[in-house]
């Protein structure tokens, strides 16, 4: 099963989540796709994913995380011995998102909330010191205007890696990687 984990201030309505959902449905794999709505607080986001996992106790999960979802996917992959596909992942959101403290709004739902120091501490608590490179497929675009793709290359050194020249944080090339993503996930 692929669990798509969306990024900061995003939702299951995100473009990549919708593209992946349609692609899997078209290939008879719709029942093996899930995309939980992740609350802004990291502990609640992880709890939402683990609740999803508990509803499918016999499923073998592969997490597909975009941006902040990539950070969550790393934590979950290491905790549960699973695979993860990382799309322009956030490496240290507890550092990078400090600049966004204050009023926030979900891009898709319009839901407002306050990003606080508690959010930063919760992200920091999920930090995984050592990763298992063989668990990961890392896909980055060099034109990412939000995150420095080189930080992801350093963090996930030894992982299966795809570096696409140009692009942006949304990973414009996402649709063409879908067959490889499903193969990596074992689907």
DSSP run (H or E) holding 170: none
The structure tokens 């999803």 sit at: 52
The residues near 163 (Cβ < 8 Å, ≥ 6 apart) are: 140, 141, 142, 149, 153
Which band of pLDDT confidence, cut at 50, 70 and 90, is reported for residue 138?
very high
What pLDDT score was predicted for residue 17? 97
Angle, nearest 10°, between helix axes 42-55 and 68-80? 50
> Residue 143 and residue 78: Cα distance in Å, rounded?
28
Beta strands in the chain (DSSP E): 2-5, 33-34, 62-66, 83-87, 102-105, 112-115, 136-141, 160-164
* Domains identified in the chain, total number: 1
Helix (H, G, I), strand (E, B) or coil at 21: helix
Which band of pLDDT confidence, cut at 50, 70 and 90, is reported for residue 60?
very high
Can you give the residue range of the structural domain that contains 127? 2-185
Beta carbons of 179 and 24 less than 8 angstroms apart? no
What pLDDT score was predicted for residue 82? 98
> Residue 64 and residue 79: Cα distance in Å, rounded?
15
Q: Tell me the residue length of the chain.
A: 187
Beta carbons of 2 and 64 less than 8 angstroms apart? yes
Mean pLDDT of all residues in 150-178? 96
Mean pLDDT of all residues in 33-51? 97
What pLDDT score was predicted for residue 38? 97
What pLDDT score was predicted for residue 14? 94
Q: pLDDT (tens digit, 9 = 90+) per residue, 147-161?
A: 999 999 999 999 999
> Residue 135 and residue 155: Cα distance in Å, rounded?
13
Q: pLDDT (tens digit, 9 = 90+) per residue, 3-16?
A: 999 999 999 999 99
What pLDDT score was predicted for residue 6? 97
Which band of pLDDT confidence, cut at 50, 70 and 90, is reported for residue 98?
very high
* CATH number of the domain where residue 137 is located: 3.40.50.1820
- Rounded percentage of the chain residues whose pLDDT exceeds 70: 100
The alpha carbon dihedral of 38, 87, 24, 1 has a sign of negative
């Amino acid at each position: 099963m692929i669990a798509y984990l969306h990024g900061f201030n995003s939702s299951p309505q995100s473009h990549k989540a919708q593209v992946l959902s349609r692609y899997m449905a078209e290939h008879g794999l719709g029942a093996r796709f899930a995309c939980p709505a992740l609350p802004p607080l990291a502990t609640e986001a992880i709890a939402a994913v683990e609740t999803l996992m508990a509803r499918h106790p016999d499923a073998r999960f592969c997490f597909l995380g975009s941006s902040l979802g990539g950070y969550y996917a790393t934590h979950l992959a290491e905790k549960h011995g699973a695979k993860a596909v990382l799309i322009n992942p956030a490496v240290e959101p507890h550092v990078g998102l400090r600049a966004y403290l204050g009023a926030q709004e979900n891009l898709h739902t319009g839901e407002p909330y306050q990003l606080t120091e508690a959010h930063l501490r919760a992200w920091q608590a999920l930090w995984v010191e050592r990763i298992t490179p063989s668990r990961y497929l890392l896909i980055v675009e060099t034109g990412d205007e939000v995150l420095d793709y080189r930080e992801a290359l350093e963090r996930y050194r030894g992982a299966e890696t795809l570096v696409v020249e140009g692009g942006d944080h949304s990973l414009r090339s996402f649709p063409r990687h879908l067959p490889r993503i499903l193969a990596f996930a074992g689907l």
